[in-house]
Each structure stands twice: as C-alpha cells, then as structure tokens.
Structure 1
Amino acid sequence: MSEKRTSVFPSAPPAEWQGRFVDAVLALPSANLPRGAVETIAPFVPQPKNLLQRSTTASPWQLRPDLIKTVTTSAGTITILRLQVHGAAGSVWERNERHSSAWRSAADPQGDHDLPSLPALRTWTGITTGEVEQTYAALRAEVDSLKHLVSVIERAGNELEVSTGNRPYDLTEDLALNGQLEPCLLVAQQYVLREPPTGNDERASFWTWAAVRGNNRTLARQELLGLTSAEVVTGVPAAKLGLPDNANVLVNPSFWISRLADRLNRELREAEAAGSSEAPAYRARKVAIVEAELVIGSDTPSRLYQIVQSTNRRDHVHPPLDFRPNDRARAVGRSVIAAYADGGLISDIEAEVLIGDRPATALPDVPRHASISVQHDVRSMRLLEALFPTTDQAERREKIRTVLSEPAPSQLSAVHMRQRLRDGRR
C-alpha cells in the first residue's frame, strides 16, 4: 500500500505555514478580515504552501492570483479565495433560508413563542492600531452562553435534516460514493457570549466559517467524518479522536485535526485490508479534502450579510432541489425586498422589518410602544405595497418581475397573484 493511500485524511499544517498563509491573506489589498477569522481556518488548509508564491526568497509570501476572484451582486461586491480544505471545515448556518420558518420572527410580536429566536447579528467591527473603528468582511452573532451557542448550531443542523426529506436522492450516500463536486461558500462569523464563561472553559467568543451555500453538504460531510458542526466550532470530544480521556474536549483545531487524521487513516488501512467498504473511514475517504470558497473581503463590508444572503436566497428562489413551500415563499419574498433595498427604493431598516429581522417599531414613523395589532397592520400593509406595486412604480414593477421571473404585467394571472401573497407570509 502506497504512502499516499495511507494518508488520505490530512493533518493540520505546521504552525509556520499556517502563519504564512494568514499573513498572505491579510496582505491582499482586497481582503479585510479580522486576523482571528483567518487563524481559525488556517488549520483546515492541508497544503498552504501550494496556495502561496513569492518572487524572491527575501520577498513575503503572497496568495496566488489565480485563486482569487471577485463576485458582484446587487447588494455589493465580495472577494473570494478558492482553495482546498479539510472535509470538516465550516459549519451549518442558522440563517440559511431553507429553514427560516424554524425560528421566531423578530417582526412578529405574536409569533410562536415555542420557537427560538435567531441570535442578533451585525457586521464585525474592530479598532485599528490608529484607534479608528473599522468594519470588516465578517459577521458577529450574540448568544447568551456556550450552551445557547451549541443549541443554535444543533437546531440549524436538525432543521436541515428535516428538509432533506424533499431531496430526491441521499446526499450523504452521494458524497460517500462520489465526493463533493461543487465548492461551498463560507463566510467568517464570530459568536460572542453575553454571559461570562463558566467552569474551566474561559473562552468568550468562537470563530467559525459558516456555510452560506452548501449547508447540506457541510452537514453530510461532517456526519461522514463522525463530527457535528457544534463540535467543529466549540471543541471535539476526546473519544471521537481515539484518545483515552473520554471526558475531555479538545478545542485546538491544530491538535484535534491531526489526531482525527491519525485515527481515520489507521481505520482506513484496516478497512481496506479487510475489504470493508461500509467502514466509516472508508465511506469518508472521498470528503477528506474538498474545494471551498472563502469570502475574504468586500468593498462594502457593512452590507456583507445582505451580499452573502443574496447568493443563498437565489438558490431558494430557483432551487436546485425541492423543499418546503413555506420556506421557499419566504425566500422569494425576502429576495424581492432585498432587490428594493439594493436599488435604493427602500431603506435598509425598512427592508429588515419587512423580511422579519426587526420589529415594526424600528421604523421611524412607528412609535416604540405601538401595540401588537398596530405593528402587525403596519408591516402587513407595507408588505402588500411592496409585493403589489402600482402602475406608477415602474422601478418596483421591474424589480419584482426580475426576481420572480414573471411574464409581462399584461400576462399576469391569478396564479402569480396567489404566489405573491404566499411570498408575503412571515
């Protein structure tokens, strides 16, 4: 058996090369990430040397230009780095449109109180060495505690598993047999705890690279590798790494990735020797390393969430696979509202109210202590106005037709009207 075959699952790269990779990413003029975000993904990059180049031995390492691309959406532009990463890289995203109905809407005061609310989210900001506040191409979510963080990520994963019932094939089996053929799009997101840490774990924040596109693939890959997204973000139990201290949780990715590789490579050799194609390590071999696209910069970082969500919503307006009608209707309606905001037809605050990320009281003309019925009526009327623009609102009519891929206004039917009404539901 060749050495290549016995090392299918990669270890974390040496710290020296991780540092060079981090410095090269941050040195790119179009990149504007917090260092902590890049340091979090670095252990998951198996061969960082293959991504770097330099003109002389005395020159600093730089990212290869052929790995960088720019993507422009109606909400803004992002810089993307395409590279190979460990199959465990990334995490499911709680703001994926596929399970938007699983969370309580901030815009609905009478919403289902049995549903959890999404963590508050904003663009990541920090203070530079010159004592100036700077906005970065990353997101920041606030959670109550580590337990709350784990529950949010686990719920996102569980809801994805429910929605895969509408998929005409088994994604996990497809990945085990064929590997991952399309890259996931990952964005840096930091979870910050509101409550001080307890016990021996003193961490107050957790960086991750959330899957804006490819949530289901991320979930299935990690399942094949015997992990969960919550473990990738917060720490992996020693028992899953083949280590004796079953009660311990390993939080350093550089350590646990290498220990996981040792265990999986050993089990793969044993499976091949025994001719066992159903062994977990054998089934995971084709997702040991996968392609990924990292959002490493934006010319309008304050609109990063809107930019990356626009790519996610596009998949659900014209989905590559069937999924629950209610979630699709939400994605369609939010895409219309996002198109209005991107075109300057409504403010960002009004857009956030209409898509359900803020209560109606965030609007400047709605009193802070407005009753529930008033808030409901205000939002409902504005949604109707947004989804049924009048004949003198030519720009809105053009936007909504483009998003919904509708025929000319003269050819609209009752079917299209009913679809718009469904799109306006919370």
Structure 2
Amino acid sequence: MSDIADASLAYEGVKRIEWADRSMPVLRQIRERFAAERPLDGLKVAACMHITTETAGLIRTLQAGGASVALAASNPLSTQDDTAAALVQEYGAEVFARAGTDREGYYAHIHKALETGPDFVLDDGCDLVNTLHTDRTDLLGTVKAGCEQTTTGVIRLHQMAFEGALRFPMVAVNDTDTKHMFDNRYGTGQSTLDGIVRATNTLLAGKTIVIAGFGYCGRGLAERARGLGARVVVTEIDPVKALDAALQGFAVQPMAQAAADGDVFITVTGNRDVVNGEHLAVMKDGAILANSGHFDVEIDVRALAEMAVEVHRGVRPQADEYVLADGRRLVLLAEGRLVNLAAAEGHPAAVMDMSFADQALTCAWLATAHATLSPAVHDVPKEIDTEVARLKLASMSIDIDHLSKEQEDYLRSWRIGS
C-alpha cells in the first residue's frame, strides 16, 4: 500500500510528467523497445530515487518492460508530491514518499519499498542497499543485482565490496561516460546555480564562488560560474584534479585560505565536513553556503548551529540565516541538502534522459547477466554507453563519421608501419 501525501494531485503530476517526457526522446525510444520485447517481464524492482517528473519517465520505462516497481524517496526535500500521486494513481507504481518527511519517515519508506521482495534494486546514494545489508538482511535472499547512479553511492559500494560485505552485484551506472558528461557536468553545473539563484536572487557576476571538488560536477559548476562572470576558486585534495583546475585558469587554494575570500561556497565532493567550523569562523558577512553533493554532511551544519546566536528560518524559500556572535550572517541553503533539487527542480529533463536511459538498458542487461556476476561493483558494458550516446545524437539529428574497412583493419593490425 503506497504512502503519499495527496492522491488528488495526480492530475497536476501527469501534466508535469508529460511535459518532461517531451525532452526525453532517448528514454521514449527505449520504452517503445521495452514494450515490444518485455525484457523485465515478471520482475520486481525496488528503487530509492528522487521522486521527480524525470524519474517517472524511468519508472514508466521499467513498467513497459514488464517490471513492477516500488519507489521510495532518496531525499525528502526533492520529493514532488504531485509526481508521487501520478505514479500511484495513473501509472500503477507503489510509491512511499512525502515531501519534507523526517528521518524516521524516510527510512520507514525505504523499508516499505524493500518489503515488496525485489529481484533488482536501484539506488541513489546507497541508502537502500545499506539498509538491506544492515537492518533488513532477511530480505537479501531475493535480490539478484542492482544499480547505483551517484558518485557518493558508488564510493560507499566500493568500500562495502572491499570489506567483503556486499552480497550481490551492483553496477555503477554513475561511472558511464554519458552519465559523467551529461548528468554530472552539464546537469549539476546548471541546476546547482539555478537553485542558488532561485533561493537567494543574488547576482553571481563579480562574486567569488568557491567550489569544493573538481570532479565532473565541480568542472561543470566552475565552467558555468565563470560563464556568468564569477571569479572561481577551486579546492581539491587530488593533485591531478587540482592541476587540471589550475591549467583551466581557475584559482586553486586550500579551503582554509578560500574561506575568508568567498562569497558563495558550493560543495560537490561526496565527503563530510568539507566546510567545517574553522572555515565558518572566518567567512564574510552574508556568505552563502550550498551543497550539491548527495548527503547533508559536506557542510558541517551542526557546527554552524552551535556557532549561531540566532537562526532566522526561511528568510527566503530554502534559505536560513545563521547569525554569529560577532554579528556576521551566514546563509545556508536547503538545510545543507542538495540545493539543485530542494531549491530548484534538479537537472533538466534532457539531462536525465541520458542517465535514465543508461539505467533502463542496464536493468535489461542485468535481467540475464546477473547470474554471471560476482558480488562486487561492476561497470556498465561499453556497448550500452555507446548505444545511449548514439540514440541521443540521432534524437538531435546529428550524424557522425564511421570507420571504413581499411581504417578498421589498420586499427586492428600491429604489423602496418608508418
């Protein structure tokens, strides 16, 4: 039995889902293929994902392939109650999600999704898989395999595998080239700045924006912030990534140095306490704190609360002002959670078209391949990544060159000299 906020919102949800679907041509093509081929016939899927209109496109695609789907939210602040209602009332999915639910409700919903006895699991941050391996080991027996679509989740899965704790194969959908390029770089880059602007209405031109982490997400953010006229400072722990940032013309500094100069701070690392109490203590009056990493641990919100003598909640939607003893005000967005989903609408549908196409095709592949895979973290087969890119190019009416037979022979031969 689903647990949603308001079933009467279904009509509004359907309209928004259909709007998003217009920008998801790759997933539409896969849905049509799945409807004809039924690669997931009779299988149960439990998913812990953001309950958004774009996610609805993936759920409908899995259903077209023959799967039954139970869905819990991977972030209470990103849940769209109208989308949840539409998925239940119009599309026949089980959904356990309410916008703004507390931690207890969040995990209760994950448990409900797992209690459907899934064959496959889809995760966004590894909370569902973690719950399976800790609190609900009684349900592990039916799970054949799963997919993870975030950097944070993949990091956790690799640690589980390293410790010998992972009980079934998981595929790192996050690590495909199409996902890195479209979702992390272009999606996070645009949607994070969108969330910051909606929450603060600040002018980014002329501001110093400090970006913690220069992975794909950090690169996308840095490129777009520079394009809007900001001065960009990057903080990193990886010498290669730091060098990459410097050679692209961005300032590179330790956070301890950047903290005193920044106007806007954005974390995208997948780690905790990237902005900590020492950094908060030297920040400018009015500094804006935003997180676009998966969990609300990258900014030390507890330290911020302990330092504050007053907290003004909701000075703007998804913006809380913390007043420190010396009168400085620091503005925390979206409670330190994902600012692009809590303060905006997440990635554009055209971006999630690629990520969810990877996810759908990987699920179809796992339906037969799971028996050959060990309990470890596996890559998405290269041919799936290539197929998604090919379908996307075709939807954009873009053609590319193809190798001639002679060129193929040349690449396969080591005997041909210069």
TM-score of the pair, normalised by structure 1: 0.27
TM-score of the pair, normalised by structure 2: 0.27
Q: Larger relative CO (CA 8 A, sep 6+): 1 or 2?
A: 1
